[in-house]
Structure 1
Amino acid sequence: MRIAITGATGSVGSALLRRLSAERDIEVIGIARRCPKPDAGPPYDAVRWWHSADLGDPACLHPLAERLAGVDAVVHLAWQFQPGHERARLRRTNVNGTRHVVNAMLAADVPRLVYASSVATYAPGPKDRLVDESWPATGIGQRSWYSVDKATVETYLDGAERDYPGLRVVRMRKPLVVQREASAGVTRHLLGRLVPVSLFRGGRLPVVPRHRLLRVQVVHGDDVAEAYLKALLSDRTGAFNIAAEPVLDGPLVAAEVGGLAAPLPLPLLRLLARAAWRSRLVPADEGWLELSAAAPLMDCSRAERELDWRPRHNAVDALRELLAGIADGVGTRTPPIRQQAA
């Protein structure tokens, strides 16, 4: 089986490459804007790389289609989170880039797409029960550009499946993916300079916000990689929720970091998040707070039933691994999740 992976050097891509390295019957083509150096080592050294692929550029269509000739499936992971202050640039990569990938697949007669969707695709939902894949995939609106783009892409894929019946699409809807190897990337893309890494090295964060709507799920990168492999080897299509238990909230996180779970109103948290982003203390805009408060909690029964997938890491263990990795500045030898400078 030959598969191509876009965004193969990112957090999920790196985890998937690790998992696929154990599969002798799968050949991998890696597609990335910034590819690993020749001395990057495992799992990147077993991949055939297509260098400097800017998927947002329409000029990529013809060479990408040529590269995809003979491929059995594409795993589309490429997604740009930064620079958060350049909205048009993000949309160019995330929305236009996905269209270019699908058009190249159609030109190359690649029949199967496994797309990295997200809980952000869903409309606002409950925090006291789980929802399945039938929950409306309209996003949370303009409060989160990330959610807008994820929902836009899924609407586009609906049309592509309708117009091209031979195209089979799997949508992996997941929350924040955490793993030790990507900890430095989380620091750069989400925490910035607002939360000093020294606090994690001391094993204590003084305060963790607590609010009834700030209840979120996470999933470990290795478990996501296993879900992608099972989807590739299955004939199933459609959406699959992929997440681990338990649900994380302020008190639970505070217990892990030795801090106080302080009740804070959402308007104040919005104000603080907006000010931190505008002053460039953090790279993540307030939309991530809005998404955390609005996104529903996902029921993963379909993945368990139809893909025989269950997470091996629970959410608390995954969080502990992430926190330890942040403290140590752990990363990989690839640009998106490179090791944090000491």
Structure 2
Amino acid sequence: MHSQAAPIPGRRCHPHPLRFWRRRPRYRHHARIDDTVCAGSHAGVCRRRRPVKVLVTGSSACLARALLPQLCADAAIERITGVDRNPPHFAHPKFRALQADFRDPQTAALLPRHDALVHLAYVVLRGRMAESAMHDINVGGSLRLLQAARAAGLRRIVHLSSAAVYGSGVALDEGAAYAPLADFRYGQHKAELERLLQEAVPACVRLRPHIILGPHAQPTLRQILRLPVFLLLADPQPDLQCVHENDVAAAILASLGRAACGPYNLAATDTWTLRGIMRRRHPLSLPLPPTAARAGLALAHGVFGWGGEPGWLDGLRHTLTLDCGRAARELGWRPAHSAEQTLAATR
């Protein structure tokens, strides 16, 4: 079980999400999580009173479309550098883009010029990519970058993980065991990287959002919600949660501005079922046996490299709900959008 972070004596909470960096707190000890000392490399993080510079990997990814505007809107942030293999889709006087693989040496060379790292880059759908190549990006490359950020003395290191590390369960808190679903490489890689980070970069914030939806949701998720079919499952139907992209971006901003470390669950408070949502969206929707859906997805993935691996469907067959109390207590984070609002915003 993950122990809860102990309060730091003398530390005061500030209403502005980045006000923490403009003051000079006095640390008497460090909070603990995962049975390791957090913030070991963050002692004295606020000695310089200047706006922060943030490096964001995966800056052309779906979530970045929600995150970058929020970062640029914050007066406490001076500059954002985005790194992505794809061309930038965002422009702002504070933002500059580097079109590169985050594993390239030039990315690591940028770290000492920044105060914080937000690591979004990740292979979600591998298509025709070899599993070994996907693993090298998601686990090996990510670990090396986050270790380099720690070695460079960055004030804050934030990694976007996923609730997929749990697999299934009801009202799970951050102490629940890693149990990603079989054949779901995305979840397995997230869990493997988290295990490594507990020892290698204990001060890293590991955000675990449930299904991220909203106007810029992953195209595959939007396509699923458009289909007039749903999985034919025995009652009771699996309960699911989701979280709005803007709420995830707000959690990242909160993580940058507080003495946080370790895992934090993120989800809207209300739950939903896939059958219920599909029947509301498509009154004439039809049930599809899981075996047929899995075979169809396997065929599309194997022949055309389209969509996700068949393991993606398994996540829709199991209940997974989260307890997000730790994010509320330590980050001051509460979702501004319900699941109903979030699903309505996803088209």
**TM superposition shift of 1:295:** 6.4
Matched-pair identity in %: 29
TM alignment of 1:285-300, pairs within 5 A? 285-294=309-318, 296-300=320-324
Between the aligned partners of 1:265 and 1:117, the Cα distance in structure 2 is 30
2:98 maps to a residue whose letter is W
**TM superposition shift of 1:322:** 0.9
**TM superposition shift of 1:213:** 5.7
Secondary structure, in 3 states, of the residue corresponding to 2:150? helix
**TM superposition shift of 1:266:** 3.6
2:186 maps to a residue whose letter is Y
Match of 1:177 in 2: 212
Match of 1:66 in 2: 109
Q: Per-residue CA shift, 1:157-210, capped at 9, x if unaligned?
A: 01203xxxxx61111001221121x25xx33x4577xx7xxx95xxxx533224
Secondary structure, in 3 states, of the residue corresponding to 2:55? strand
More helix by share: 1
Match of 2:228 in 1: 206
Going from structure 1 to structure 2, the CA distance change for 1:276 and 1:245 (only over 3 Å counts) comes to farther
1:50 equivalent to 2:98? Answer yes
Match of 1:327 in 2: none
Match of 1:3 in 2: 54
1:150 equivalent to 2:190? Answer yes
Q: Per-residue CA shift, 1:241-271, capped at 9, x if unaligned?
A: 0011322213321243123565555444433
Match of 2:18 in 1: none
TM alignment of 1:210-249, pairs within 5 A? 210-211=232-233, 212=236, 214-249=238-273
**TM superposition shift of 1:281:** 7.8
Secondary structure, in 3 states, of the residue corresponding to 1:148? helix
Q: Per-residue CA shift, 1:295-315, capped at 9, x if unaligned?
A: 631111111122111111111
Secondary structure, in 3 states, of the residue corresponding to 2:195? helix
Secondary structure, in 3 states, of the residue corresponding to 2:73? coil
Q: How many residues align?
A: 292
**TM superposition shift of 1:113:** 1.2
1:83 maps to a residue whose letter is R
Match of 1:321 in 2: 345
TM alignment of 1:6-21, pairs within 5 A? 6-21=57-72
1:112 maps to a residue whose letter is R
Between the aligned partners of 2:136 and 2:176, the Cα distance in structure 1 is 27
Contact kept? 1:244, 1:314, Cα under 8 Å: yes
1:55 maps to a residue whose letter is F
Question: Please, what TM-score do these two structures have when normalized by structure 1?
Answer: 0.77
1:77 equivalent to 2:77? Answer no
Which deviates the most, 296-305 or 98-107? 98-107
Q: Per-residue CA shift, 1:46-91, capped at 9, x if unaligned?
A: 3122232x134xxx23x33321114222111001224323222222
Contact kept? 2:214, 2:345, Cα under 8 Å: yes
Contact kept? 1:208, 1:259, Cα under 8 Å: no
